[in-house]
Structure 1
Amino acid sequence: MSTEALARLAEERVDHRFKGLPPDADGLTVGELTAQRRNLFTDGFTTPVLALSAERLEHNLKLMETYAARHGLAFAPHGKTSMAPQLFHRQLEHGAWGITLAVPHQVRVARAFGISRVFLANELVDPAALRWVAAELAADPSFRFICYVDSVRGVELMDAALEGAARPVDVVVELGAGEGARTGVRTEAECAAVADAVAATDTLRLVGVAGYEAEVPQADPERVRAWLTRLVGLAVDLDKAGKFARAEEIVVSAGGSAWFDTVSEVFAGIPELSLPVLKLLRSGAYVSHDDGHYRKITPFNRVPEEGALEPAFRLWAQVVSRPSPEQAFANAGKRDAAYDLDLPFAQVVRRDGAERPATGIEVTGLSDQHAWLSTASGAELEVGDWVGLGLSHPCTSFDKWSLIPVAEADGTVVAYVRTFF
């Protein structure tokens, strides 16, 4: 099913739905356009256009594959970062155990493209979605699905929706990261009550514990380590109490993109339990990385001998107005660039086939379709120039583009990534 679904992506027709692509490619299939190996800069692509670096994307995939293997971790990267089935499958080819997602729609996309292991890092109490999950589990014995639970009430709602299901839904107790954090049970006593509620059902099966350490208030290595130690202790206590009696392995899962070094460190000390332990890391932003938020906080900055991720996105915009020596405007704005955490970063200027650093050029604001550029004295910038922008926060970069060219260093486009937000 996955091969056929991916092949159908190549059969999709290029048209007005996909911004930035060459107008004269209308009517071609994506596969036909890919085969032409057009150049991003000289073969008709229009600005603004977002591109992924082929080389950097491959580097990041290999680096995290190596990292997870080195530290004895299973890896279920958070697919909501990209919502791109082609990237899901490349991550699986690079050793991923499965894909992590956040809401039922995303699970449906993953299943449509043959993903057989899904970790839903969220509570799920919607009856229609639960019945759909139950149907998927019944139809496909190889499908593995795990989701969070964090309340007795949630367990009751799940149980009611799943009445008569052929297979139980696997759940993990989510341990909250602290007062004022997001979802998750706040105390160990409440965790035990949720575990007891799961045990009282036939429709659910408790298989482990999980959480999200980036939500720890005022997160730093010590606070994150303390919370992860609590998470491991919760798994130990629930195991001693026999709460995983119906499981085949015990899942202990954490790991956003900011603290996976600390996750690796603490998970290395998980003691022997009554069943094999699946140490499941869920970092997802690594696949494209970024030039802002994650570049500042990546664990590889703290442990440089492990390697380094590389920002794989670049948004190309064109200067359309130069009203004064101190100001210019390019034709990419909020509809094109991530801006929820940091503004884009001017990196290079391209003119007549030559590229140079964007010295003295700064993005100071975004309108819907314009980037506001501040230009220092002596900054070389003219109407018509292309400006290459680095982006912050990949999660809100992918969701603005439904078909993204993947370009080699010389601009040759070798693939197109389809997203489903």
Structure 2
Amino acid sequence: MGEGQSPRLGINHTAVAELETEVLDWRHKAVPAAQHGRTAAEFGSGSLRLSDLQTPLLTLDAAALTGNVARMARWCAEHGVRLAPHGKTTMAPALWAAQLEAGAWGITLANAAQLRVARRFGVRTLMLANGLTDPSAIRWVADQVAAGARIVSWVDSVAGVDRLQRVLDAAGAGSLEVLVEIGGRGGRTGARGVDAARTVAEAVRAASRLRLGGIGGYEGALAHSWDEAGLSAVRGYLGDFRHLHETLAGDDTYETDEVILTAGGSAYFDDVVEILGPCAGSGVEVILRSGAYVIHDDGFYRGISPLSRRDPDAADAFVSAMRFWARVVSRTEPGLAILEGGKRDLPFDEGLPIPLGIGGELGQPLRPLPGAAITAVNDQHAFLCYSDELDVRPGDVVLLGLSHPCTALDKWTLMPVLDSVADPVDPVVVGTVRTFF
């Protein structure tokens, strides 16, 4: 176990803390030139306010981050399931540490490059929610497992099983723990249906260098709404998932005393728990992989999260922890202003940004923008349409709510964390979050 490694939390806190010693400069676009040369710790020490920063800018809210992590941990504990949050949402070791400290089973990631980031920061228990097919990645994972890490990956075909076996055989490596992935028609990866998945499971059982540890899958690829059609697709898939588990358990196919059943993004985790939750216990762990909840948003997840579908402002709902600030750079047509932030700075794949307010400068009170909307984004600009009676001028700061944290944080190497509780108008910078995409 490396220096700073926590046996309880499974992350190297010394490595995470060292991020605070990074000297900030031109590589960190959220940092004004006047602050270059300061360390991340100095930048987030409370000596700066929002008004000391520059636009365009993505900020995070300290209270929202803390509250969202605690809320999800509490929900999982109350429902008797574990959580391996999908770390690809943030790729932020400091946030992973907070999630692990709140009781997470481990961290989920999507590819070998992301796994390497996690191992650099000492994360010991990892789930790769994907299949391993690249030979160098397979060998590297085998080496990490031999060194003491637990990395659970997925496989969804007999051909995938054969490939893993051949590469591990050639490398003389030990065995890998894998989950058979079940998918659904029209979905993404995953063996299509119970029979196909059962065939894959039997192939894993027959492979000398693989161990069948359970079942993985992702219901979120099958629906994008919580209307009757969307929920029917999700629940039908989860029914197949449970049937596969009951079949494999009945046939004594698993090769572990701790079977993992894992599904659940940030949109349908309540359905996952309702259908798969009764399987937990007696050597079976049901593990959710929700990742977007820690940041949440003002768009897609605000409307579909199980904790906010019916009332996005409910006391137990997640709260968006991200805000985007952009200035008006042009206003040459009536009712149209061009903002300085675009596709290189903010997400647009799950809905365009939402105007929340406008002010003269950062750190000044905002006034509402009734009826205003972002109608399009270019690489570096956004189109703000508004009614003629609104006063919008070049240099004004527009606050935008965003949709989809997974494609927001990947555009920023470092984000200031604000304390908006003490001062919601001109909050203090109380920290930073460093990402590794």
Same fold (TM over 0.5): yes
Q: Is the 8 A contact 1:125 1:158 kept in 2?
A: yes
Moved over 6 A (4+): none
- SS in structure 2 opposite 1:376? coil
Q: Deviation of residue 234 (structure 1)?
A: 0.6
| Residue in 2 that maps onto 1:390 | 401
Partner residue in 1 for 2:194: 188
Q: What does 1:68-147 correspond to in 2, within 5 Å?
A: 68-140=76-148, 143-147=149-153
Once the two structures are superposed, the pairs formed by residues 259-298 of structure 1 within 5 Å of their partners are 259-270=268-279, 276-298=283-305
- Give the CA deviation at 1:216: 2.4
Q: 1:271: how far off?
A: 7.3
| Cα deviations by residue, 1:191-236 (Å, 9 ceiling, x for unpaired) | 2221121112221100101111112268522332221121111111
What's 2:42 paired with? 32
Q: 1:361·1:379 contact (CA, 8 Å) conserved in 2?
A: no
| Deviation per residue, 1:1-27 (Å, 9 max, x gap) | 412211221121111111121211111
Gaps of 5+ in 1: none
- Residue deviations 1:278-333, cap 9 Å, x none? 10001111011011111111111347688201111111001112213311111111
**Following TM superposition, by how much is the alpha carbon of 1:256 offset from its aligned partner in structure 2, in angstroms?**
0.9
How high is the TM-score relative to the length of structure 2? 0.91
**Residue in 1 that maps onto 2:159:** 153
Worse-matched range after superposition: 261-270 or 84-93? 261-270
CA contact (8 A) 1:121 1:148 kept: yes
CA shift for structure 1 position 384: 1.4
Distance in 2 of aligned mates of 1:193 and 1:268: 25
Which of 371, 382, 391 is the matching residue for 1:380? 391
Does residue 412 of the first structure (1) align with residue 418 of the second (2)? no
Query: What CA distance in whole angstroms lies between the structure 2 residues aligned with 1:236 and 1:399?
Result: 39
Q: SS at the partner of 2:324?
A: strand
Aligned equivalents of 1:379 and 1:360: distance in 2? 10
Q: Which residue of structure 2 aligns with residue 311 of structure 1?
A: 320
1:239 CA displacement:
1.3
8 A contact 2:93–2:121 mirrored in 1? yes
Q: Which residue in the other structure is 1:171 paired with?
A: 178
3-state DSSP class of the match of 1:119? Answer: strand
SS of 1:235's partner is helix
* Distance in 2 between residues matched to 1:255 and 1:138, nearest whole Å: 29
Alignment counterpart, residue 31 of structure 2, candidates 2, 15, 21: 21
Residues 188, 221 of structure 2: 8 Å contact kept: yes
Q: Structure 1: how far apart are the matches of 2:190 and 2:433?
A: 34
C-alpha contact (below 8 Å) 1:67/1:306 kept by paired residues: no
Structure 1 counterpart of 2:210, one-letter code: L
* 2:117 partner SS: helix
- For 1:36 and 1:180, how far apart are their aligned partners in 2? 50
Tell me the residue number matched to 1:46.
Answer: 54
Structure 1 residue 372 displacement after superposition: 0.9
**CA distance in 2 between partners of 1:382 and 1:308 (Å):** 35
Aligned residue in 2 for 1:197: 203
Q: Secondary structure at the match of 1:35?
A: coil
Which of 225, 231, 237 matches 2:235? 225
For structure 2, list consecutive stretches of 5 or more residues without a partner in the other structure.
3-11
Q: Between Structure 1 and Structure 2, how many residues are aligned?
A: 413
2-structure distance, mates of 1:329, 1:185: 47
Q: Distance in 2 between matches of 1:332 and 1:226?
A: 41
Kindly indicate whether residue 347 of structure 2 is the aligned counterpart of residue 338 of structure 1.
yes
Aligned match of 2:330: 321
- State the identity as a percent: 44
2:223 touches 2:231 (CA, 8 Å); kept in 1? no
Instruction: Tell me if the contact between 1:345 and 1:390 (Cα under 8 Å) persists in the aligned partners.
Output: yes
CA distance in 1, matches of 2:375, 2:232: 35
The farther-off stretch of 304-313 and 69-78 is 304-313
Q: 1:234 aligns with which of 244, 249, 254?
A: 244
SS at match of 2:266: coil
Q: Aligned to 1:323, what secondary structure does the other structure show? A: strand
Cα distance in 2 between the residues matched to 1:233 and 1:95: 29
Which of 49, 55, 65 lines up with 2:73 in the alignment? Answer: 65
Q: Which amino acid aligns with 1:133?
A: V
- Pick aligned residue for 1:364 from 350, 375, 380: 375
Deviation at 1:34, TM superposition (A): 1.9
Tell me which amino acid in the other structure corresponds to 2:297.
D
Map of 2:7 onto structure 1? none
> CA separation in 1, counterparts of 2:116 and 2:173?
19
Please name the residue that 1:7 is paired with: 17
Partner of 2:306: 299
Tell me the distance in 1 between the aligned counterparts of 2:333 and 2:192: 56
The answer to whether the 8 Å contact 1:21/1:49 transfers is no
Q: After the TM superposition, which of the residue ranges 155-164 and 75-84 deviates more from structure 2?
A: 155-164
